[in-house]
A and B are shown apart, each in its own frame.
Chain A
Amino acid sequence: MSSDTVAPAPRSGFSPAQYAICLNGIVWRETLRFLHQRERFIAALVRPLVWLFIFAAGFRQVLGVSIIPPYEVYVLYEVFITPGLVAMIQLFNGMQSSLSMVYDREMGNMRTLLVSPLPRWYLLSAKLVAGTSVSLLQVYTFLAIAWLWGIEPPLIGYLAVLPALILSGLMLGALGMLLSSVVRRLENFAGVMNFVIFPMFFASSALYPLWRVKETSPVLYWICQFNPFTHAVELIRFALYGQLNGISLAVVCGCTMLFMVGAIVAYDPSRGFLARRGGPGETA
């Protein structure tokens, strides 16, 4: 047995290269895990595809979409809901990765992450970046299938949508992380579906243009306007056609910051929920 277990006292602090290694490691692991869990990959694709192939086909005749920015011509209903479905993929992914992190047997994985000596805000941010990367994989696979289905935004849109996807992915992941830390009741995914995903998804511009909502219910219209998910959808919708929706950009940036700061505070050992929850799921 060599005696290299005991090293000379390490230096204090970490170099930028070490921060980069850490981020890279977390993203790499998250991606590997996602690729290994085939069911999760398939589920993440089937969900929006069902909406696209079945729901949109059925609704095509019922719901006409007039010409509204960023569209310059009449678009089919399936074209209209594609950005909404992209955002839905990210919404599911954000909730799933953040909540599973805490409530599943992944509690152990959360602990191995948090004993890293790097600052906790950095670890949580890296975790968000990793979750967002996974959502990008899902989204681009979906967009490729949608293209075969005849949904063909301009080529430049596929590039322009990338920064929008990163931002919305971060926002929704941070929201999931914040919820996972502060809301005790959301212990299973069904609860999250009912109280977070469905309301956010349906009270948004994902499935119908908001001017139509305004005609039927001004109250609902305002709820949709204040729903950050609406702005994620609109940011993606505009970007997919090479345009920028400034208000949505501002809202998504603001909400991302807000949710992230909230999550970091909630995971702070002295203030966070971990202490209040009554122990680390301990048996001893």
Chain B
Amino acid sequence: MMVAVEHHAEALQEVASPPALAIDGVSHSYGPRRALADVSLSIPPATFVVLLGLNGAGKSTLFSLITRLFATQHGQISVFGHDIARAPGAALRRLGVVFQLRTLDLDLSVMQNLTYHAALHGIGRRSARQRAKDLLARVELSDRGDDKARKLSGGQMRRVEIARALLHRPRLLLLDEPTVGLDLRARADILSYVRNLVAEEGVSVLWATHLIDEVSEADTVAVLHHGRLLAHGPAQDVIAAAGARDIGSAFARLTEKVTGPPEKPA
């Protein structure tokens, strides 16, 4: 069941520029196990999209495909109109990622972690340091630049990872379960910081989570379950289409109908 929704403001923007992220008919299998089945999803510029799914729904697989850890077997993915398979460089430089796993170098300082990442994007030491300082200030970690990453709390590490993902000024930010393992306060901080990026700077965000309470009424929601996209649209429309009171019960209704992973057709 797919909820197709017209959204006027978004429709206008789409005419002007290609979507931040366009996923078109993507399927993926690990051997006989099918992880994604015909997933299509589009993120207009300056939108916050929550990719909602339980563990094993295929969220990380989708992220691996978008970041080109491995190639798409079926379907197409493009970032601001740049096909990830044909023009990976152009697509990846417009993309910032926060992985589910912690990926900071614990033995290096926060600043060293950031300048390393900048170098991977061809940004020189001097401008990288300046940019890193600005971003650290924005995630309220200005005074921690010289500390070893090991000394940071989980929430602080996540904030550094978000700053790192923004170093090369991407216009699309992907976050894979960014709040897992954080306390309530840190979760709220990170969520509101990323929401601000969308509202104030026009960054597009794909936020993957299994935590229903991270969805707000104004968000666009994509529900992924057993590799299939069950619903996609503004949260209110998804709730209405499912005949539910809130997103939590809408999610429960949508997912209870589907049992067992889809089999790969022979």
Binding site for B on A (CB under 8 A): 1-7, 9-10, 12-15, 17-19, 21-22, 24-26, 28-29, 32-33, 36-37, 105, 107-109, 111-120, 123, 268-270, 272, 274-276, 278-284
Which residues of chain B are within 8 angstroms of A112 by Cβ–Cβ distance?
99, 103, 117, 120
Question: By the criterion CB–CB under 8 Å, are A282 and B61 in contact?
Answer: yes
Given known contacts A5-B197, A13-B89, A109-B105, A114 and B210 CB-to-CB distance under 8 angstroms? no
> Is B208 an interface residue when CB atoms closer than 8 A count as contact?
yes
User: With A17-B122, A22-B120, A282-B64 given, can you name 20 additional A-B contacts, CB distance below 8 Å?
Assistant: A1-B138, A2-B134, A5-B201, A5-B203, A24-B119, A25-B115, A25-B118, A25-B120, A33-B108, A113-B120, A114-B68, A115-B95, A269-B70, A279-B30, A279-B60, A279-B61, A280-B69, A284-B55, A284-B60, A284-B210
Question: By the criterion CB–CB under 8 Å, are A284 and B68 in contact?
Answer: no
Question: By the criterion CB–CB under 8 Å, are A29 and B67 in contact?
Answer: no
Question: By the criterion CB–CB under 8 Å, are B100 and A283 in contact?
Answer: yes
Question: By the criterion CB–CB under 8 Å, are A108 and B120 in contact?
Answer: no
> Is B42 an interface residue when CB atoms closer than 8 A count as contact?
no
Interface residues of B in 163-220 (CB under 8 A from A): 166, 169, 171, 176-177, 196-197, 200-203, 208, 210
- Assembly CA distance A198 to B91 (angstroms): 44
Given known contacts A112-B99, A278-B30, A3 and B200 CB-to-CB distance under 8 angstroms? yes
- Assembly CA distance A270 to B92 (angstroms): 16
Question: By the criterion CB–CB under 8 Å, are B70 and A274 in contact?
Answer: yes
> In the complex, what residue of chain A is closest to B131 when comparing beta carbons?
A4
Which residues of chain A are within 8 angstroms of B169 by Cβ–Cβ distance?
4-7
9 tightest A-B CB contacts, nearest first: A25-B119, A18-B122, A108-B103, A270-B71, A282-B60, A275-B70, A117-B93, A116-B120, A117-B92
Which residues of chain B are within 8 angstroms of A279 by Cβ–Cβ distance?
30, 35, 60-61, 64
* Closest CB in chain B relative to A26 CB, distance in Å: 7
> Is B123 an interface residue when CB atoms closer than 8 A count as contact?
yes
Interface residues of B in 141-180 (CB under 8 A from A): 166, 169, 171, 176-177
Which residues of chain B are within 8 angstroms of A119 by Cβ–Cβ distance?
89
Which residues of chain A are within 8 angstroms of B69 by Cβ–Cβ distance?
111, 114-115, 269, 274, 280
Which residues of chain A are within 8 angstroms of B55 by Cβ–Cβ distance?
283-284
Query: Which of A6, A10, A19, A108 lies in contact with B93, CB distance below 8 A?
Result: A10
> In the complex, what residue of chain A is closest to B125 when comparing beta carbons?
A21
- Assembly CA distance A10 to B171 (angstroms): 11
Which residues of chain B are within 8 angstroms of A268 by Cβ–Cβ distance?
71
> Is B124 an interface residue when CB atoms closer than 8 A count as contact?
yes
Query: Which of B59, B121, B166 lies in contact with A5, CB distance below 8 A?
Result: B166
- Assembly CA distance A203 to B67 (angstroms): 42
Which residues of chain B are within 8 angstroms of A17 by Cβ–Cβ distance?
122, 124
Given known contacts A22-B120, A25-B119, A1 and B210 CB-to-CB distance under 8 angstroms? no
Which residues of chain B are within 8 angstroms of A3 by Cβ–Cβ distance?
200-202
- Assembly CA distance A120 to B89 (angstroms): 9
- Assembly CA distance A144 to B53 (angstroms): 58
> In the complex, what residue of chain A is closest to B54 when comparing beta carbons?
A284
> Is B12 an interface residue when CB atoms closer than 8 A count as contact?
no
Which residues of chain A are within 8 angstroms of B35 by Cβ–Cβ distance?
279
- Assembly CA distance A261 to B135 (angstroms): 38
Q: Give me 8 A-to-B residue pairs in the complex whose CB atoms sit less than 8 angstroms apart, sorted by A's number.
A: A3-B202, A5-B197, A6-B169, A7-B169, A10-B93, A109-B103, A119-B89, A276-B30
Which residues of chain A are within 8 angstroms of B177 by Cβ–Cβ distance?
284
Question: By the criterion CB–CB under 8 Å, are A22 and B70 in contact?
Answer: no
Question: By the criterion CB–CB under 8 Å, are B120 and A33 in contact?
Answer: no
Which residues of chain A are within 8 angstroms of B40 by Cβ–Cβ distance?
none
